[in-house]
A and B are shown apart, each in its own frame.
Chain A
Amino acid sequence: DIQMTQSPSSLSASVGDRVTITCRASQGIGNSLSWYQQKPGKAPKLLLFAASRLESGVPSRFSGSGSGTDFTLTISSLQPEDFSTYYCQQYKSPPYTFGQGTKLEIK
């Protein structure tokens, strides 16, 4: 199975900050990576796919990059509604594994 490792596990930041979350795959996955945002008690919400493509309706302050084994999710200017948990997920080959998550908290 392909293991996905995110860092950091948690992050404190302020409204307006720029933040970056990293995701590393245990083997090359090309650009077969999605990012999801999850709020407590809710289903994950798709933000980006193919490593850098923004899902329809997602604000442009979210961006993604990377290929192969190393990927990043960047939020250019944090808004109050962005404080959530973020997961990367590979879909190169099943089982479609998720990272352990990054909890973004208000400083």
Chain B
Amino acid sequence: QAQLVQSGAEVKKPGASLKISCKTSGYIFTSYAIHWVRQAPGQAPEWMGGITTLNGNTKYSQKFQGRVTMTRDTTANTAYLELSSLRSEDTALYYCARLTMVLTFDTWGQGTMITVSS
């Protein structure tokens, strides 16, 4: 059974960067892309982008272009999200999710709470 386990909650200062990991198990890592979705408190989910785990190709939402980097380590079956120049509006629960062939997010991580505060 596919499982995605994310790194723990963090508190960051404005202007800092974050890096979240998403460790996968229970399936062939390179067979599915990993995408990142964040959800601010009381808000709808927001798609940030994704990485094709086979070749490392990325697709980012224009909103985060220039601040976001998604990478993967195929030897560790793990994907990573980096976001720089953090501001208070980046306070959110960040999820990784597996993208299926029919473009659905069928398996999700448990979420990583990021709080940006001075």
Contact = CB atoms under 8 A, between A and B. Distances in A.
Contact of B44 (A45, A50, A99): A99
A101 interface: yes
Interface secondary structure of A, over-half rule: loop
Nearest to B48: A95
A43 B47 contact: no
Contacts, number: 50
B13 interface: no
Band of interface residues on B: 20 to 34
Contacts of A32: 103
A49 B62 CA distance: 25
Interface in A21-54: 32, 34, 36, 43-46, 49-50
A98 interface: yes
Candidate in A32, A44, A96 with the most chain B CB atoms within 10 angstroms: A96
A55 B63 contact: no
Contact of B104 (A46, A87, A98): A46
B82 interface: no
Contacts of A87: 44-45
A87 B104 CA distance: 13
A49 B111 contact: no
Nearest to A91: B103
B47 A96 contact: yes
Interface string B15-56: 000000000000000000001010000001111010000000
Nearest to B63: A95
Given A43-B111, A94-B59, A94-B61, A34 B47 contact: no
Interface of B: 35, 37, 44-47, 49, 59, 61-63, 95, 97, 102-106, 108-111
